[in-house]
Structure 1
Amino acid sequence: MRLRRTAALLLLPLLVTVGCGSAATPAAAPPPASPSAAAPSSGAPDRPSDATSMICNPYFRQELAGALGTDTTQPLAPTWEKRVYSCEYHYPDGSMTLSVKELPDAATALAQYDGLRGSAGAVTDLNGLGEAAYKRADGTTVVRKDAFVLTVDVAKLPETFGTPPRSRADVAVMTATTVMICWKEHSS
């Protein structure tokens, strides 16, 4: 366990230095509506924010492939419906889905996060990731940050995944951490 934490801490500076692309980079979906990572307005946007669209950005996919030691087998096909932006990362031996729910404000995001947490069964809190985070028994990680709720669903991945092999729970936390780093980088 201690070795995993040490390895994760060593990996984080590498992820920060690589960069996450920018709003000017082509996204795999329609161009985002706003140039900032600020919380979305109270009206229902017809496109995801720049920060949200990063999860399906080709540059983010490349960074994730480097971090996980394996790349996707299919192009990303993002969707934007009912304020949820998502895409599935298909791999030779499974898949994971990244999604972000954009909410009108931080209070609504907190209520959404608490509702998801309450219906998730036994969870493990994750300290230092977003404003609040937990992982479910299947390894899926959920993170609340500002008016966003990020879900990294790894239930369709094998128990160990990537090169070097990691537990799917570690893959979810690493992926969520990469998103948080990108959001921080984007808002700077």
Structure 2
Amino acid sequence: MRLRHTAALLLLPLLAAAGCGSGAAPGADAAPPAASSPASAAAAPSSGAPDRPSDATSMICNPYFRQELAGALGTDITQPLAPTWEKRVYSCEYHYAGASMTLSVKELPDAATALAQYDGLRGSAGAVTDLNGLGEAAYKRADGTTVVRKDSFVLTVDVAKLPETFGTPPRSRADVAVMTATTVMICWQEHSS
């Protein structure tokens, strides 16, 4: 049973991510905005905080990614996304019936600064479980929230406001966080090629 659950968890993001870089989302009239990879965005010269997030970062709150995530979770949001960009952190809250999940990306000037940021978050998170094969480093907190470091970015999928099980079919909120983070990583990888 556990093997089937793990296999399903791994396959869903792959299926959901198939549309990340494949043009317009089903039913959409316009093509999705071009997205840059985290690596190419990190390579761009930076003087202070940029006035807007990179295309790779803003992908976490765009309508195409929202549709992919809704398909993977088997449920859609109940309120429009309202992204914010403040102090190099881009975030949006996915509101569901009686629950919510927040996705955020912290853009750092370089990979070394991202590593320091990630290590600081990990050090203050209490007991964590390392997640191998997700980004360059990743961990899961006790509440299921997943944090991933990739290039000069730190992605957080905060599921603390989700019930213990969520989605259709029902999954643990920790599995929802890992699946969401995996989908982001796959989309970023698709856009880097």
State the TM bucket, normalised to the shorter chain: 0.7 to 0.9
SS state at 2:42 partner: coil
Unaligned runs of 5+ in 1: none
When the two chains are superposed, the root-mean-square deviation of aligned CA atoms in Å is: 3.4
**Post-superposition offset of 1:154:** 0.1
**Post-superposition offset of 1:3:** 2.5
1:100-146 deviation per Cα after TM superposition (whole angstroms, max 9, x unaligned): 00000000000000000000000000000000000000000000000
Please give the alpha-carbon distance, in whole angstroms, between the structure 2 residues aligned to 1:53 and 1:89.
Answer: 14
1:147 and 1:22, CA in 2 relative to 1: closer, same or farther beyond 3 A? farther
**Post-superposition offset of 1:38:** 5.0
Contact 2:9/2:179, CA 8 A, preserved across alignment: no
SS state at 1:37 partner: helix
SS state at 1:170 partner: helix
**Post-superposition offset of 1:39:** 6.3
Please give the alpha-carbon distance, in whole angstroms, between the structure 1 residues aligned to 2:124 and 2:25.
Answer: 37
1:177 and 1:120, CA in 2 relative to 1: closer, same or farther beyond 3 A? same
1:23-54 deviation per Cα after TM superposition (whole angstroms, max 9, x unaligned): 9999x999899995756735311000010000
Please give the alpha-carbon distance, in whole angstroms, between the structure 2 residues aligned to 1:22 and 1:82.
Answer: 31
Match of 1:159 in 2: 164
Match of 1:179 in 2: 184
Match of 1:31 in 2: 33
Contact 2:24/2:32, CA 8 A, preserved across alignment: no
Contact 2:16/2:72, CA 8 A, preserved across alignment: no
Contact 1:80/1:86, CA 8 A, preserved across alignment: yes
Please give the alpha-carbon distance, in whole angstroms, between the structure 2 residues aligned to 1:8 and 1:39.
Answer: 37
**Post-superposition offset of 1:8:** 3.9
Please give the alpha-carbon distance, in whole angstroms, between the structure 2 residues aligned to 1:71 and 1:40.
Answer: 37
1:40 and 1:119, CA in 2 relative to 1: closer, same or farther beyond 3 A? farther
Contact 1:130/1:143, CA 8 A, preserved across alignment: yes
1:124 and 1:14, CA in 2 relative to 1: closer, same or farther beyond 3 A? closer
**Post-superposition offset of 1:10:** 5.2
Contact 1:160/1:166, CA 8 A, preserved across alignment: yes
1:76 and 1:21, CA in 2 relative to 1: closer, same or farther beyond 3 A? farther
Residues 1:148 and 2:153 are matched in the alignment:
yes
Contact 1:139/1:169, CA 8 A, preserved across alignment: yes
Could you list the structure 1 runs, at least 4 aligned residues long, displaced by more than 6 angstroms after superposition: 22-26, 28-35
TM-score norm. by structure 2 comes to 0.85
Unaligned runs of 5+ in 2: none
Residues 1:59 and 2:64 are matched in the alignment:
yes
TM-score norm. by structure 1 comes to 0.87
1:71 and 1:118, CA in 2 relative to 1: closer, same or farther beyond 3 A? same
More off after superposition, 58-67 vs 41-50? 41-50
Contact 1:39/1:104, CA 8 A, preserved across alignment: no
**Post-superposition offset of 1:7:** 2.6
State the identity %. 93
Contact 2:146/2:158, CA 8 A, preserved across alignment: yes
